[in-house]
Structures are given as C-alpha cells and as structure tokens.
Amino acid sequence: MEPHIRSAFDKDLEGVQALVMKMGGLVEDALLQAAKALETRDDDLAERIRAGDRVIDELEELVHTECARIIALRAPTASDLRTVLTVMRIVASLERSGDYAKNLAKRSLVLAQMQPISGSAGSITRMARSVVGLLKDSLDAFVARDAVMAEDVRRRDAEVDQMYNALFREFLTHMMEDPRNITACMHLHFIAKNIERVGDHATGIAEQVIYLVKGRMPEEERPKNDVTSLVPRGKE
C-alpha cells in the first residue's frame, strides 16, 4: 500500500475505532444503569435505557457503512481487511449486548410491580459489574492490540459463569420455598442469563482481538462453567 493510501486508511480506521469505543461505552453504561433500575425499582431509568438502545443500533449501522466505504475506496490488503472484518464482528457483538441491556430494563419494569426477591437485585448488579469489566477490557485489548489482555478476558469469563450458576441455584431455592416467587424468579433468571450472554460476547470480542493480532483464533476451547443448561442458547 502506497504511503498516501496507507495514511488515508489509518485515518479512516482511527475514525471507525473511535465509533466502536463510543458504542462500547454506551453498552457498558446501559448494562450498569439497567441493573441499577432493577435494584432501585426505577421505572423512569428503565424506560430511558430502552429508548437509548436506538443510539447503539444507529452506531452499529454507521460503523458497517464506514467499513463498507473503506473496503470500496481503500482496497485494503489481507491484513488490513482482517482489521476491518474484526471491527464489523465486534460491533455486532456490542449491538447484541445492548439488546440484552434493553431486555434487562424491560424485565425490571415488570419486576417493579412484584414483591422483591431478597438479595437478588444486588447479586444481579454485582454480576453486571463483572461483565462490564470483561467488556471494557476486551475493547481496551482491541485498541492496544493486546492478545495477553484478551486471553485474560477469556479466562475470567468462567468467573461470570460461576456467578450465574450461584444465582440459578438461589432462584430455585426461592421458588421451592414459596411458589408465589416463581414468576419473579423466572424473570430474574432470564436477566441473569442475559448478563451471562454479554460475558460470552465480551469473550467473543477478546477472541477476535487474538485473531487480529495472531492471525488465527485460539486453538483451545474457552473455559465454561455454566452447567445449568436450563435455557437453550438463542431461546431467551
């Protein structure tokens, strides 16, 4: 790639990368605020999270448009094309994570009308914070092209699975103790599962970073500790 074309490509990529980080910041905030809405039973905050998902969707569309423009105008080499494709996969994961945050907010509106399940909202908030940490570190690894940080994100996802498993057992206990808790606990279970899914997406972003840096996906399976298998993937 000639120097002037290289410079233009790098400038375009910097702009797209800035959009990715902006989108990531919005998703992280949406998840934390949705957990807060659940814990404080704040319907207004939950509604703002639902409405704010539109901005995340628009950013995904903008990034895809910019990536298509870069491919069309800059004719990137194989390694540069890998960078563009990685960006497109990352924003797809971020958009889906934003959907999960929106779903959390929607369910918090329903749960606000029910008798609270003792300790559950605080546990959900702690899990959300852990997952946001994974998401933030995976995006930082992308910016820094840091495969070691990305590998650490993959390892830490198992901790999120353990938190989810503990919550699952807790909800089962509440349901068995009092059948009146079943509906609320099912909503809480779906919320916990959605947060666990965001952890999976954060790990997927980390794997894309490893692919970007090393030119190959990780060979070993990511460590998984989700042993519940109550809800099949994609059926939430």
pLDDT digits (tens, 9 = 90+) for 203-223: 999 999 999 998 888 866 665
pTM as predicted: 0.89
For 119, the token pair is 């300790």
In this model, does residue 12 exceed pLDDT 50?
yes
Q: Express as a percent the part of the chain with pLDDT over 90.
A: 79
pLDDT of residue 20: 97
Burial (CB < 10 A; 0-12, 13-18, 19+), residue 61, is: exposed
In this model, does residue 108 exceed pLDDT 90?
yes
120-172 pLDDT per residue, tens: 999 999 999 999 999 999 999 999 999 999 999 999 999 999 999 999 999 99
Superfamily, domain 3-214? Phosphate transport system protein phou homolog 2; domain 2 (1.20.58.220)
SS3 235: coil
In this model, does residue 229 exceed pLDDT 80?
no
In this model, does residue 235 exceed pLDDT 50?
no
- Beta-carbon contacts of 184 under 8 Å, excluding residues fewer than 6 positions away, are 111, 114, 115, 116, 117
Going from N- to C-terminal start, the domains of the chain cover 3-214
Residues 194, 55, 93, 102: what is their CA dihedral angle, to the nearest 10 degrees? Answer: 10
